[in-house]
Structures are given as C-alpha cells and as structure tokens.
C-alpha cells in the first residue's frame, strides 16, 4: 500500500464532517482535490471506506476502523515533530481552540504574540456556532473555547477577555423618521436572524422573550458576515455585535439605530472544563492571557472601548 499522510488527513476530516464539501472548506482545499485524494486512498482497499445514499455520505464500518488508525498514525507523526522541537528546548505541541463565529474578530489578537514567541506550536482553530463550540468542549476535543454566553449545563472555569455589545443596525441609506426608539421598534422592522445555535441568536431571542415582543423574522442566515451583507443590501435590520461591524460603521455602510435598552451586553470569556489537565502548551497560553490581556485590549481594541463607553451613539 502507498497511501500518504495527506490522504489520511483528508480522509479523517471527511469522517469527522460526513461531507466532502465541508472537509474541503475546513482543510482549505478545493472539493475536487478532496474527492481525488479520497478516491486514491479508496483504490488501495478492496472494501469501501464510504458510501453515498441519496445525497448523504456515510462512513462504512471498515472506513470507521481506518479512520481510527489514521488518527493514531497522524498523532504519532505530530508527536515526532513536537519531540524534535522539545529536544531543542522549544515549547511545542498543538493548541486546540473552538470559537463562536463572531469571536473571529477577537481571538486572533490574543493569539498573535503567543504564536510568534513559540513557533513550534501548531494552532487548531474551529470557528463555528455556539452549539458546536460547547459540544467540542464537552467532548474534550479542545483546550479552550471562546464564547459570549456561558454554557448553562457544563461545569467550566473561565477568564474574562473583553466586553461584547450588540446594537440594532440597518443600512445607512435606510432612514427612519425618529432619532430614538423603544424596544417596540423591533416589532415594526423586518429582522434578520442568525441560525439556531448561535450565541447572538440566543441573546436577541432572550431579549425578545423578556419584553414579549412579536418580531417579524425576515430571514435566517448562517454567519455574521452573511447577516451583515444582507443588512447593507437593505434586506432588513439585525441586532449585531459591535466588534464585527467597525469598518462598515466607519465607511458609512451601516448605522446604529438608538433603542432604549440596547445595547445588549455580554462578555467574551475563554472557558475550559473544570479540573482539566492542561498540556504544557495550553498552560502557557492561559498564562499568556492572564498576563497580557490588558495590554492587548489597550493596543488592539482601544477603538472599541472608546466607542462603547459613550452613553449615546
């Protein structure tokens, strides 16, 4: 047999995502490239690794066994690389994080200096919705997770990073007659939602429920960027985190609609399972956050702190 580590890596990702398309996206490869590597690996076995029923891809029992073996092989390869670096007295290993989708505007700045200082560290970063983030933490698949809403049924420890604020926003050219509103304005506007499982969706639905509002859901989209573009295009309004709309506010594509009771406030927290045994890399990263978070916020997010400190926008 002449299978390659690259083929094993691709096949393992396919078994995890149950989709060639999703595997390609997560590996930053084209779908045809992933399909070709799957076929090349399959050609070396007489027993099917996967099967397609309807339009759904399934991993066979044999494929599941190969995936387990592939994960062990890849883990050993990573271990060889890390041991080589450790022998040179370099901090090395994998740092595994899951981050809610709007957290992608936050987490790079808390990682940048740490990864530059420790070039032997491999970052595994999964940016997804809140439900998947909590699932990955619960299964102990990651070292840390970044969330703006703490899980209710999971015992975790946390470190606060920075505040998160959500405002009602619309396209800048969608003018409204009044300069300020009560929460009833949400009943009069077509509201664009994030998908179920999103932390932003959870926060706004809790607000709507608290005020017994009858809100018109215009559409539901699966990413913050998709919501943002829909709002800019004038398809509706949305309650969005300030952290993700800085450029659009500054260049005049979006505007904040002042509503009494908004912004909705939460805090970005880095969380981990209580009593988790940290690897040297994870322990070093936590220490980095504790020591450097104030400096990082001051250097990278001063615009945010100044912006949200205003009583009226």
Query: Would you list the DSSP string of 195-262?
Result: PTT-HHHHHHHHHHHHTT---EEEEEESSHHHHHHHHHTTS-BEEEEGGG-HHHHHTTSEEE--BTT-
pLDDT of residue 311 exceeding 60, the answer is no
Runs of H (alpha helix) within the chain: 5-17, 20-27, 31-42, 61-87, 107-117, 130-138, 199-210, 224-232, 246-250, 280-300, 302-308
DSSP symbol at 90: -
| Stated pTM of the model | 0.66
Q: By the 8 A CB rule, do 73 and 8 touch? A: yes
- Relative orientation angle of helices 5-17 and 31-42, to the nearest 10 degrees: 110
Per-residue tokens: 216: 């018109």
The encoded tokens of residue 262 equal 């908004």
Predicted pLDDT at 92: 75
Q: Where are the domains of the chain?
A: 5-82, 91-162+267-308, 164-266
pLDDT computed for residue 129 by the predictor: 85
Mean pLDDT in the chain? 87
The per-residue pLDDT for 307 is 60
Q: Do 91-162+267-308 and 164-266 agree at the fold level?
A: yes
**CATH of segment(s) 91-162+267-308:** 3.40.190.10
pLDDT over 70 percentage in the chain: 92
Find out if CATH 1.10.3720.10 is the number for domain 5-82. Answer: no
CATH number among 3.30.10.20, 3.40.50.960, 3.40.50.300, 3.40.190.10, domain 164-266: 3.40.190.10
Two tokens, residue 202: 């959870």
**Residue 167 near residue 256 (C-beta atoms within 8 A):** yes
């Amino acid at each position: 047999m002449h299978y390659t580590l690259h083929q094993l890596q691709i096949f393992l990702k396919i078994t995890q995502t149950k989709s060639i398309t999703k595997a390609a996206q997560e590996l930053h490869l084209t779908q045809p490239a992933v399909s070709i590597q799957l076929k090349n690996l399959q050609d070396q076995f007489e027993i099917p690794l996967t099967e397609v029923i309807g339009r759904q891809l399934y991993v066979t029992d044999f494929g599941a066994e190969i995936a387990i073996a592939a994960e062990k092989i890849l883990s050993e390869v990573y271990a060889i690389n890390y041991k080589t670096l450790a022998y040179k007295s370099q901090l090395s290993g994998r740092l595994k994080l899951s981050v809610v989708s709007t957290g992608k505007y936050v987490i790079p700045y808390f990682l940048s200096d740490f990864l530059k200082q420790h070039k032997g560290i491999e970052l595994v970063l999964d940016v997804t919705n809140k439900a998947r983030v909590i699932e990955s933490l619960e299964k102990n698949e990651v070292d840390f997770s970044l969330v703006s809403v703490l899980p209710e049924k999971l015992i975790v420890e946390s470190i606060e990073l920075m505040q998160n604020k959500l405002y009602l926003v619309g396209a800048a050219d969608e003018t409204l007659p009044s300069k300020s509103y009560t929460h009833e304005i949400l009943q009069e506007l077509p509201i664009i939602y994030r998908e179920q499982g999103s932390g932003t969706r959870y926060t706004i639905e809790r607000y709507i429920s608290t005020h017994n509002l009858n809100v018109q859901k215009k559409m539901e989209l699966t990413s913050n960027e998709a919501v943002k573009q829909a709002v800019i295009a004038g398809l509706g309004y949305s309650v969005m985190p300030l952290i993700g709309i800085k450029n659009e506010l500054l260049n005049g594509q979006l505007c904040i609609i002042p509503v009494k009771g908004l912004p909705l406030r939460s805090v970005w927290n880095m969380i981990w399972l209580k009593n988790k045994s940290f690897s040297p890399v994870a322990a070093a990263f936590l220490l980095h956050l504790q020591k450097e978070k104030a400096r990082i916020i001051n250097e990278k997010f001063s615009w945010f702190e100044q912006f949200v400190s205003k009583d009226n926008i």
